Amino acid sequence: MCNTWFVSHHLDITCSPECYKAHQREQKHASEHRRRARKKAAFVANVYRKKVFEADGYRCHICKKKTDKTKQAPHPKAPTIDHLTPLSLGGTHEPANCRTACFMCNAMKSDRLAGDQLMLLAV
9-30 pLDDT per residue, tens: 555 666 777 777 888 888 888 8
Residue 111 within a domain: yes
Highest mean pLDDT among 16-30, 35-49, 53-67, 109-123: 53-67
Q: What are phi and psi of 100, to 5 degrees?
A: -80, 135
Residue 60 within a domain: yes
Range of the domain at 68: 17-122
Q: What is the pLDDT of residue 73?
A: 83
Other beta carbons within 10 Å of 110: 10
Residue 63 within a domain: yes
Q: What is the pLDDT of residue 63?
A: 92
Report how many domains make up the chain.
1
Q: What is the pLDDT of residue 3?
A: 63
Query: What is d(CA 120, CA 123) in angstroms, rounded to the nearest whole number?
Result: 5
Mean pLDDT of 89-93: 86
Residue 1 within a domain: no
> Would the pLDDT of 84 be above 80?
yes
SS (H, E, C) 36-72: HHHHCCCCECCCCHHHHHHHCCCECCCCCCECCCCCC
Q: What is the pTM of this model?
A: 0.67
Q: What is the pLDDT of residue 12?
A: 60
Residue 7 within a domain: no
Residue 8 within a domain: no
CATH classification of the domain holding 74: 1.10.30
Q: What is the pLDDT of residue 116?
A: 56
Query: What is d(CA 19, CA 75) in angstroms, rounded to the nearest whole number?
Result: 21
Q: At 77, is the secondary structure helix, strand, or coil? A: coil
Element (H, E) at 73: none
Query: What is d(CA 15, CA 23) in angstroms, rounded to the nearest whole number?
Result: 11
Residue 70 within a domain: yes
Q: What is the pLDDT of residue 113?
A: 74
